[in-house]
A and B are shown apart, each in its own frame.
Chain A
Amino acid sequence: DTGVSQDPRHKITKRGQNVTFRCDPISEHNRLYWYRQTLGQGPEFLTYFQNEAQLEKSRLLSDRFSAERPKGSFSTLEIQRTEQGDSAMYLCASSLASAETQYFGPGTRLLVL
């Protein structure tokens, strides 16, 4: 399978715990994006990378959120001190370049109790 993959697919955690999600993009794609989606809404942009450089972060991304793409391949999204409001689907997408089609992974569904 050469699509975008995400791990884990589901995560249940207690408030205050840290969680980390992984995304493996399509191999030749330079751009990698993270989005958050809540029920009944479209995905909301969080951050994106061009190769290993993090070029833009949404104001939605509080200082409890951090993302990395250390070698320009896979990426991780960490949420520290989780809150119930962090419960959502976290989506990763990749593309060849700006204004090109973004291909999405299956998402990681996070539930914070």
Chain B
Amino acid sequence: EDQVTQSPEALRLQEGESSSLNCSYTVSGLRGLFWYRQDPGKGPEFLFTLYSAGEEKEKERLKATLTKKESFLHITAPKPEDSATYLCAVEGNYGQNFVFGPGTRLSVLP
């Protein structure tokens, strides 16, 4: 069964303090790994898709990387507006749907 864990569960950063969020996965043949941002009371907002180990994607202050067992979301010089829950999801060879991790709640203090 495909599984996703995320760490830390919650993270508090000062504005400008860079850090990384971890997504570890167990999947029968990775077809895609997806990062989303979710604000309270809203649906997840797509950030990145990664398909193979070694792949990297960047957008503004965010950079996602992928290995064979985990993915990292690096946040460089975060701002308070980056505060949200960051969700990781995978799709494996034997599933036709995403399996989500529990998320990391990020708070960036001014």
Contacts and interface: CB of A to CB of B under 8 A. Distances in A.
B45 interface: yes
Contact of A43 (B32, B42, B100): B100
A33 interface: yes
B2 to A, nearest CB: 10
A104 B92 CA distance: 20
B43 A91 contact: yes
Interface residues of B, number: 24
A40 B41 CA distance: 12
B91 A98 contact: yes
Contacts of A55: 96
A84 to B, nearest CB: 20
Interface in A46-69: 48, 55-56, 58
Contacts of B72: none
* Chain A to chain B: the 7 pairs with minimum beta-carbon distance, closest first: A42-B100, A104-B43, A99-B31, A45-B97, A99-B32, A104-B44, A107-B43
Given A4-B43, A44-B100, A102-B46, 7 more contacts: A35-B100, A42-B87, A42-B100, A42-B102, A99-B31, A102-B98, A109-B41
